[in-house]
C-alpha cells in the first residue's frame, strides 16, 4: 500500500499492525492496549497501518508534532505530560503501586504464556486471522506466522519462561488469570468504579483469550470458571469499542438490548480519525457519539450478566 503523507501537527498518529480479518482490532495485546487507552482518555488519533517498526524495533508507536515515541509505557507518560491527561488521578499512592505491579505481571509474565498459545500451540488458527492480500497472500501468511513462531520461542527461552514444559507454562498462565479474577472480584474495573490505565493493559491481554484463541485453555478458563473476567472484557468492549462486533459473540454475556444491537454493526476502520465523543466519517462529516451509548444509541450497562442466571444455565448443561 502506498504510504500516505503524514502531518502529525497536533495530532496523534498511531502506528500499529494491520487489523486481523476476524473482527478483533488487533492480534497484538500492546497495540490493543494503546488504542484502548486513547479511547479511554478520549484522545483523537489517526491509525496508520504501515507495518513499520519504531527506531527501537517496537510496535505500536506514535508520532505527535513529529516527535516519535515507542513503548506503551513511555507513550502514555509522554501523552500525560504533553496533553495533561491522567486516567489515574483518582488513585492514591497504594493503588498506583498495585496498578503498576499488576501491569508488570500482565506484560512481563502473562503475555508470554498467551503468546505461546497464540503463535506456537494455536498457530494454525492464528494464521487464519492474519490479514494479507495479494496473489501470494496464503504463502506470505504461512511464512510470516512461522517466522513469528520461531521468534516467540526464541524470546521465551531468553526470558526464561520458555524453558519450562507446556503444562508448566499453562499452570503459570492460570495462576495469573486467577490472580486477575480475584483482584477484580465484583468491581466494575480493576481498581474500582472508575477506569484507569491498568484497565487498558489488562483488557488488551485478556481480549486475546476472549476472542483470538478459540478452543484453547485460556479461552475455556475465561469463559468458564473466571466468568467475571469475561464480563469485564465485554463491559470495556461495549463502552469503548462500540463498532467492534464479533461473529462468535456468546449471547450469555449480552442483555436483550445489546443482543439486538449486535445484529448490525460498522466494520473497524483502517485509516480512521477517531474520537470517542466525536468521530468522523470518510468525508470528514462529524458523527455525534456519547461515551455511554453504543453506535445504535442503546445505553451500555455496567454489568451484562446475572450471576445467578448464569449458574442456573450451567447446572442445566
Domain at 151, CATH number: 1.20.1050.10
pLDDT, tens only, 101-134: 999 999 999 999 999 999 999 888 888 888 777 7
* pLDDT at site 280: 36
Of 34, 44, 53, residue with least CA distance to 10: 44
Please check whether residue 316 lies inside any domain of the structure: no
SS3 (DSSP) at 279? strand
* Angstrom distance (rounded) from CA 109 to CA 65: 34
295: in domain: no
Q: Is residue 257 part of a domain?
A: no
**Distances from the Cα of 59 to the Cα of 2, 30, 220, angstroms:** 20, 8, 29
Q: How confident is the model at residue 232, as a pLDDT? A: 97
Classify residue 118: in a domain, yes or no: yes
Task: Name the residue range of residue 169's domain.
Answer: 12-245
Query: What integer pLDDT is reported at residue 180 of this predicted model?
Result: 97
Residue 144 has φ and ψ, to the nearest 5°, of -60, -45
Dihedral sign, Cα of residue 179, residue 182, residue 187, residue 188: positive
Q: How many domains would you assign to the chain?
A: 1
Entry field: residues in the chain? 317
Spatial distance between the Cα atoms of 82 and 138, rounded to a whole number of angstroms: 43
At residue 6, the pLDDT reads 55
The pair phi, psi for residue 15, each rounded to 5°, is -90, 125
The whole model's pTM is what?
0.78
pLDDT on residue 132: 73
- Beta strands 12-15; 45-48: pairing state: parallel
Q: What is the pLDDT of residue 128?
A: 87
Q: Does the residue 133 lie in any domain? A: yes
Question: What pLDDT is stored for residue 201 in this prediction?
Answer: 97
How far is it, in rounded angstroms, from Cα 111 to Cα 208? 10
pLDDT beneath 50, residues of the chain: 1-4, 248-266, 270-272, 277-317
User: Can you give the pLDDT at residue 264?
Assistant: 40
Examine residue 258 and state whether it is found in any structural domain, yes or no. no
State residue 66's pLDDT score: 84
Residue 250: inside a domain: no
Torsion sign across C-alpha atoms 46, 202, 69, 4: negative
Report if residue 211 sits inside a domain: yes
Measured between alpha carbons, how far is 198 from 105 in angstroms, rounded to an integer?
11
Given a contact cutoff of 8 angstroms between Cβ atoms, the answer to whether 180 and 210 are in contact is: no
274-313: pLDDT as tens digits? 555 443 333 334 333 333 333 333 333 333 334 444 444 4
pLDDT of the residue at 301: 33
Amino acid at each position: 500500500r502506498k504510504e500516505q503523507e503524514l502531518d502529525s501537527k497536533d495530532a496523534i498518529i498511531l502506528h500499529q499492525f494491520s487489523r486481523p480479518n476476524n473482527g478483533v482490532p488487533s492480534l497484538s495485546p500492546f497495540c490493543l492496549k494503546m488504542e484502548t487507552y486513547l479511547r479511554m482518555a478520549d484522545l483523537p488519533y489517526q491509525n496508520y497501518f504501515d507495518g513499520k517498526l519504531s527506531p527501537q524495533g517496537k510496535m505500536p508507536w506514535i508520532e505527535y508534532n513529529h516527535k516519535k515515541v515507542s513503548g506503551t509505557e513511555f507513550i502514555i507518560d509522554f501523552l500525560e505530560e504533553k496533553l495533561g491527561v491522567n486516567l489515574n488521578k483518582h488513585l492514591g499512592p497504594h493503588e498506583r503501586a498495585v496498578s503498576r505491579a499488576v501491569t508488570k505481571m500482565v506484560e512481563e509474565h502473562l503475555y508470554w504464556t498467551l503468546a505461546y498459545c497464540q503463535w506456537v500451540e494455536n498457530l494454525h488458527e492464528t494464521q487464519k486471522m492474519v490479514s494479507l492480500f495479494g496473489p501470494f497472500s496464503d504463502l506470505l501468511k504461512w511464512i510470516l506466522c512461522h517466522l513469528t513462531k520461531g521468534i516467540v520461542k526464541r524470546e521465551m527461552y531468553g526470558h526464561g519462561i520458555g524453558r519450562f514444559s507446556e503444562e508448566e507454562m499453562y499452570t503459570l498462565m492460570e495462576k495469573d488469570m486467577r490472580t486477575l479474577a480475584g483482584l477484580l472480584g465484583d468491581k466494575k474495573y480493576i481498581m474500582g468504579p472508575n477506569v484507569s490505565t491498568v484497565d487498558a493493559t489488562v483488557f488488551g491481554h485478556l481480549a486475546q483469550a476472549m476472542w483470538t484463541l478459540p478452543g484453547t485453555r485460556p479461552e475455556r478458563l475465561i469463559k468458564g470458571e473466571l466468568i467475571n473476567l469475561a464480563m469485564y472484557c465485554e463491559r470495556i468492549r461495549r463502552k469503548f469499542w462500540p463498532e467492534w462486533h464479533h461473529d462468535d459473540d456468546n449471547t450469555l454475556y449480552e442483555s436483550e438490548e445489546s443482543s439486538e444491537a449486535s445484529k448490525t454493526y460498522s466494520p473497524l476502520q483502517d485509516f480512521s480519525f477517531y474520537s470517542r465523543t466525536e468521530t468522523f466519517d470518510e468525508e470528514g462529516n462529524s458523527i455525534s457519539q456519547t461515551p455511554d451509548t453504543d453506535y445504535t444509541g442503546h445505553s451500555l450497562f455496567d454489568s451484562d450478566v446475572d450471576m445467578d442466571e448464569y449458574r442456573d444455565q450451567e447446572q442445566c448443561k
